């Protein structure tokens, strides 16, 4: 019997937790806020010819465990995460990562890269779809809005941008830093298909990704919680800091309890 998407997501979250703890790596919170959507995208929506750009490169761990859940990366490879000579650094770069087209980590570049891929697919007469995952904080970069203007003008109906709107960035909440709690109203002014969903509800995410959109690019705003599923979810510390041993054990217990029948 094939595992449900919920079971696969829980398994991926536990593997992500172990991987980050073993590597003493931070950015766990932002990985957990986008992992549900990333798993839905790869397991339920994307076809073999489709393309994906991880604009929020600090969530590389979520991409790696998603690829692991598809048997495209091994446990042994995940165990090298953020270590010397690894092909799986904290921001995705280099060779050997299945499907990786660009190194990312400097925020704000992903939408432009994805729009270029979508435009190229149109010129090639290809039916491929292009997906790009961003953070909400990186939409303080002007390059994101320039890419959106271009995508809207060109009516790139093969482009979908997902925004992980967890409301927290490096030095506080997005509302404190730039007076923005919700990007959706600002995005709607660009004559594109904009919708907001619970980013931790796989059925909602899949339904919106599959819904008709007309001849316009789509932006899917994922309302999420940084560190979702953990006892300390929503804390700013999860943006940077590695998990202490006690928090790691509590996090594992919480995830295991949530997945128990």
Q: How many CB atoms lie within 10 A of CB 96?
A: 10
Domain ranges (residues) in the chain: 5-259
Q: pLDDT of 102-120, one tens digit each?
A: 988 778 899 999 999 999 9
CATH 3.20.20.70 at 5-259, yes or no: no
The 10s digit of each residue's pLDDT in 13-59 is 999 999 999 998 888 889 999 999 999 999 999 999 999 999 999 99
Q: How far is CA 160 from the centre of its chain?
A: 12
Identify the segments of the chain with pLDDT beneath 50. 1
Q: pTM to 2 decimals?
A: 0.94
Phi/psi of residue 102, nearest 5 degrees: -140, 145
Helix-then-strand count for the chain, H and E: 10, 7
Contact status, residue 54 vs residue 104, Cβ threshold 8 Å: yes
């Amino acid at each position: 019997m094939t595992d449900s998407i919920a079971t696969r997501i829980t398994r991926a979250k536990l593997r992500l937790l172990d991987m980050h703890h073993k590597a003493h790596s931070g950015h766990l919170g932002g990985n957990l806020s986008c992992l549900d959507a990333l798993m839905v995208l790869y397991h339920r929506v994307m076809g073999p010819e489709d393309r994906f750009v991880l604009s929020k490169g600090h969530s590389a761990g979520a991409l790696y465990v998603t690829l692991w859940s598809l048997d495209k990366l091994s446990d042994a490879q995940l165990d090298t995460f953020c270590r010397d000579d690894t092909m799986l650094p904290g921001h995705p770069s280099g060779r050997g990562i299945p499907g990786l087209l660009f190194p990312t980590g400097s925020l704000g570049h992903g939408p432009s890269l994805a729009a270029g891929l979508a435009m190229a697919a149109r010129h090639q007469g290809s039916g491929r779809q292009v997906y790009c995952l961003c953070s909400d904080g990186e939409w303080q970069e002007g390059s994101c809005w320039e890419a959106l203007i271009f995508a809207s003008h060109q009516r790139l109906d093969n482009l979908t941008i997902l925004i992980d709107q967890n409301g927290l960035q490096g030095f506080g909440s997005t509302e404190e830093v730039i007076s923005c709690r919700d990007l959706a109203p600002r995005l709607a002014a660009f004559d594109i298909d904009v919708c907001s969903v619970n980013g931790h509800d796989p059925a909602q995410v899949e339904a919106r990704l599959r819904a008709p959109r007309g001849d316009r690019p789509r932006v899917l705003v994922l309302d999420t919680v940084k560190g979702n599923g953990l006892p300390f979810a929503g804390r700013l510390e999860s943006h940077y800091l590695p998990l202490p041993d006690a928090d790691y054990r509590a996090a594992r217990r919480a995830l295991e309890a949530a997945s128990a029948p």
